[in-house]
Amino acid sequence: MEDGQYFFERGNFAPIAEEHDIGDLPVTGEIPRGLDGTLFRNGPNPQFAPPDPARHHWFLGDGMVHAFTLRDGRARWRNRWVRTDKFRAERAAGHALSVGFGGGRAIGVPDTGLANTSLAWHAGRLLALEEAHLPFALDPATVETLGVEDFGALSGPFTAHPKADPATGELVFFGYSAGGPLSPVMSWGTLSAAGRVTRLEHFPVAFCAMVHDFAVTARHVLFPLMPLTGSLGRAMRGGPPFAWEPELGGQVGLLRRDAGVASLRWFRAESCFAFHVLNAWEDAVGRVLADVMEFAAPPLFPRADGTPSRPEETQAHLTRWTLDPAAGTDAFRRERLDDMTGEFPRLDERRAGLPNRHGVFVGQSPAVRRDLALDTLVWCDLANGGRARFTVPEGDALSEAVFVPRDAAAAEGDGWLLTVAWRGAEKRSEVLVLDTQDVAAGPVATVTLPGRVPHGFHGAWVPGV
pLDDT tens per residue across span 236-255? 888 889 999 999 999 999 99
Has residue 227 been placed in a domain? yes
Q: Can you say whether the dihedral through the CA atoms of 131, 134, 140, 146 is positive or negative?
A: negative
pTM: 0.95
DSSP 448: E
Has residue 169 been placed in a domain? yes
Has residue 211 been placed in a domain? yes
Strands (E), 298-375: 317-323, 333-336, 341-346, 358-364
pLDDT tens digit sequence for 173-204? 999 999 999 999 999 999 999 999 999 999 99
- What distance in Å separates the CA atoms of residue 293 and residue 255, rounded to the nearest whole number? 21
Q: Place 2 in a pLDDT band, splitting at 50, 70 and 90.
A: very low
Closest CA to 377 of 340, 413, 411: 340
Has residue 341 been placed in a domain? no
Enumerate the H helices of 74-225 as residue ranges.
Answer: 85-93
* Average pLDDT estimate for 109-118: 94
Q: Is the pLDDT of residue 106 over 90?
A: no
- What distance in Å separates the CA atoms of residue 243 and residue 326, rounded to the nearest whole number? 34
- Structural domain count of the chain: 1
Q: Place 366 in a pLDDT band, splitting at 50, 70 and 90.
A: confident
pLDDT tens digit sequence for 407-446? 999 999 999 999 999 999 999 999 999 999 999 999 999 9
* Average pLDDT estimate for 129-152: 97
Q: Is the pLDDT of residue 235 over 90?
A: no
* Average pLDDT estimate for 66-91: 97
- Do the bridges between strand 197-204 and strand 215-216 make them parallel or antiparallel, or are there none, so unpaired? unpaired
Has residue 171 been placed in a domain? yes
Q: Which residues lie across from 291 on neighbouring strands?
A: 279, 320
Between the alpha carbon of residue 2 and those of residues 16, 54, 114, 302, 383, the distances in Å are 21, 11, 24, 12, 39
Closest CA to 453 of 14, 140, 82, 142: 14
Q: What is the span of the domain harbouring residue 276?
A: 165-287+294-305+323-331
Phi-psi region of 117 (alpha: psi -120 to 50; beta: other; left: phi over 0): alpha
Q: Is the pLDDT of residue 358 over 60?
A: yes
> How high is the pLDDT of residue 238?
84
Has residue 300 been placed in a domain? yes
